[in-house]
């Protein structure tokens, strides 16, 4: 895609990109002549397509890490005994118990890492019944399912995740529960 400032008849230049929020990336472009800006929103599928191509809006100054797309995007990956840098080893040692994820995800995910909520109120709570159902999901897919259900609850204004919300959220993630 290319963008043109119609007033100046000048090609717009990339200026900035936000990290994804609820799956959507925002890219800002600016006219180099009149400095007018506009924002382009990528929907979650467009954002995901960019991730799958391992391309970064705004370019990338970082050298590619080995298998960075697979290692940062595979949701059912095994925990890595990983890399040789002290920082990464520390990150690995501090890894979460449930994650099963690569510690360098935080290093390479860059612009595609989900934006941390700014003044985000506490996320939706889980009812006991919903938690019990969550526990029945196989461990390797549970983090993805949990994230999908919580995202669905937030998007749809549910303060509490109940069995009914879980039913409604089916289709947002792959597992049966």
Partner 1 sequence: MKTYNELPADAGSDIIGQVTAQLNRLQKRLADVKHTVAIMSGKGGVGKSAITANLAAALALEGCAVGVVDADINGPSIAKMMGVRNAALHYSPAGVTPIVNALGIKVISMDLLLAEDEAPVLWNAHTQKDAFTWRATMEVGALREFIGDTEWGALDYLLLDLPPGTDKLPNVVELLPNLGGVLVVTIPSEVSQFIVKKSLAMAQHILNVPIIGVIENMAFHICQHCGEKEPLFSTDEPLWEETLGSIPFDAKLAYCSDKGMPYVREYPDTPASLALTAVAGKIQHFFKET
| Residue ranges in contact with partner 1 by CB under 8 A | 1-4, 6, 9, 11-15, 20, 22-24, 29, 44-45, 47-49, 51-60, 63-84, 100, 114, 138-141, 144, 148, 151, 171-174
- Closest contact distance (angstroms) between CB of 73 and partner 1 is 5
Q: How far is the CB of 20 from partner 1 (least distance, A)?
A: 7
Judged by beta carbon, residue 72 or residue 128, the one nearer partner 1 is 72
Look at residue 45 and give its three-state secondary structure.
helix
Q: Residue 127 contacts by C-beta under 8 Å, 6 or more apart in sequence? A: 160, 161, 162, 163
In the block, tokens 């090609």 appear at: 11
Q: Specify the residue, 25 or 130, whose C-beta has the smaller distance to partner 1.
A: 25
**For partner 1, which is the closer residue by CB, 15 or 127?**
15
* Strands, E assignment, 107-148: 125-126
Nearer Cβ to partner 1 (45/128): 45
């Amino acid at each position: 895609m290319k963008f043109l400032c119609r007033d100046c008849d000048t090609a717009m230049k990339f200026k900035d990109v936000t990290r994804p929020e609820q799956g959507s990336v925002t890219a800002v472009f600016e006219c180099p002549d009149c400095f007018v800006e506009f924002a382009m929103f990528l929907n979650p599928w467009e954002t995901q397509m960019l991730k799958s191509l391992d391309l970064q809006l705004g370019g990338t100054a970082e050298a590619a890490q080995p298998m960075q797309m697979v290692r940062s995007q595979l949701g059912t990956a095994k925990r890595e005994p990983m890399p040789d840098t002290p920082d990464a080893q520390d990150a690995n040692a501090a890894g979460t118990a449930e994650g099963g994820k690569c510690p360098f995800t935080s290093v390479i995910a860059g612009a595609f890492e989900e934006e941390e909520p700014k003044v985000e109120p506490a996320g939706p709570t889980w009812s006991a019944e919903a938690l019990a159902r969550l526990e029945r999901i196989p461990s390797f897919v549970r983090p993805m399912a949990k994230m999908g259900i919580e995202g669905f609850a937030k998007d749809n204004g549910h303060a509490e995740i109940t069995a009914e919300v879980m039913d409604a959220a089916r289709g947002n993630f792959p597992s049966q529960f």
